[in-house]
Amino acid sequence: MLPDIRTPLPGPKSRALAARLRSVEGANVTFLPQDESFPIFWESGNGCLITDVDGNQLLDMTSAFGVSALGHGATAATQAIAKQSNLLLHGMGDVHPTVAKLELCEELCRTSGLPAAKVILGTSGGDAVEAAIKSAILRTGKHRVVAFDGGYHGLNLGALNATARHDFRMPFHRHLADFVTHFPYGSPLENLPDDTAAVLVEVIQGRGGVREASTDWLMHLRSLCDAAGALLIVDEVFTGFWRTGEVFAHRHHGVTPDIIACGKVLGGGMPISACVGTGDAMSGWPVSTGESIHTSTFLGHPGGCASAVATLRSLSDMDASATVNRLGAYLRSHLDLIARKHTRKVTSIRGKGLMLGIQMDAHGAAVTLSDALLQNGIITLPAGNGDVLELTPPFVVTEHQLDFVAGAIDQALTL
């Protein structure tokens, strides 16, 4: 099914709702320009298609921030949530657990492949990163974290220390501690700074512009960590759960991390994330004596856990790896042709599986392209410095839909 646009975008209902939202939501949250050119209010979803409040159907090439791998409205998640919510929607995650939490932890340990793995659940990617950093601090007794330029690890005040975007950090710079040292992404380091507890790295930087780490560099980070007694944390919040064609992106490189931070795809649309580490990496945590030093009200949320378990099982049943590799190669071949045709505007195509980026020649060029695609009913996101168009569609996208998207990109670049 392809986009079906019946009104100017945004339509009249979206515009009216945006005016209402402007009067009640914090000013920095939703982009609500005075010319009303944005946003589109979503009403429902089915597979890759989103129906907006004006009855337009749009093609989601983002999986809504890389989450909805099985497509919008996927029954694995909705049925699991319905079943769990009839039993118990909310529980007491770190006090009286549910079977759903146990099953998710078991599933994550198995999927991670890490020896004697242990899990700490959270509700956002930033939570997972913070739990990973805390685990490394406790295990090593050291305090420094090495992270990389262009890295995005979340905006919670803890995770923001590691996120390298100046615009996100600047308003809060006085509240950021100096325990994170940033180095250029992909460049070899002579050694790790003294007192390094962890190296935190994205195998492919998503929001940073679909920038890929090389196997050599990841191996180099692994050996630096080993030499310094630091832990290697891979932030797989975006890349995890087959987004790149492997269950985790580090598997493409044969590098074994100590800790994996993950989220997004995991919950099947429910806000749930996890820090999964080797038994050794997670061994710094004191055994709970009744009061956990790292928890939250919604930790191990039963509905979220049930949705996550069903999503992971469904992805594994559908052979997500084969599906993503096949569709990713198909989209990639379209994008490579586009790059060859529009050499002045497109400088490279990057990424793996269904996490692909079109590197444009100028800052902001991907924003312009994304806006043009939206007018054709295609939802995309710019990344990097607005110079990379990121394509991370649901794994249920069809070749026909990818043909349509490629055609629209080609046409927009031709204008």
Ligand X SMILES: Cc1ncc(COP(=O)(O)O)c(C=O)c1O
Nearer to ligand X, 129 or 366 (CB): 129
| Residue among 126 and 269 whose Cβ is closer to ligand X | 126
Shortest distance (Å) from residue 127 CB to ligand X: 7
- Identify which of residues 10 and 267 has a Cβ nearer to ligand X in the complex: 267
Q: Note whether 61 and 366 are within 8 A (CB).
A: no
- Give the C-alpha separation, 264 to 236, whole Å: 9
Q: Is the peptide bond before 39 cis (omega within 30 degrees of 0)?
A: yes
Compute the least distance from the CB of residue 268 to ligand X, in Å.
14
Chain residues in the site for ligand X (CB under 6 A): 124-126, 129, 152-154, 202, 206-207, 235, 237-238, 263
* Residue 84, CA atoms < 13 Å, CB-side half-sphere: 26
Q: Are strands 259-262 and 273-277 parallel, antiparallel or unpaired?
A: antiparallel
CB of 153 to ligand X, least distance (A): 5
Nearest Cα to Cα of residue 383 among 404, 360, 405 = 360
Orientation angle between helical segments 399-414 and 320-341, nearest 10 degrees: 20
Query: 185 or 338, CB closer to ligand X?
Result: 185
Q: Rounded to the nearest whole angstrom, what is the least distance from the CB of residue 205 to ligand X in the complex? A: 7
Q: How far is the CB of 240 from ligand X (least distance, A)?
A: 9
DSSP characters for 342-371? -TTTEEEEEEETTEEEEEESSTTHHHHHHH
Name which of 261, 372, 386, 292 is nearest 92 in CA terms. Answer: 292
> Given the complex with ligand X, which of 213 and 338 has the nearer CB atom?
213
* Closest residue to ligand X, based on beta-carbon distance: 125
C-alpha to C-alpha distance for 69 and 87, rounded to whole angstroms? 26
Q: Which is nearer to ligand X, 105 or 129 (CB)?
A: 129
Least spacing, CB of residue 31 vs ligand X, in Å:
17
Q: What is the rounded CA–CA span in Å between residue 308 and residue 238?
A: 15
d(CA 258, CA 224): 13
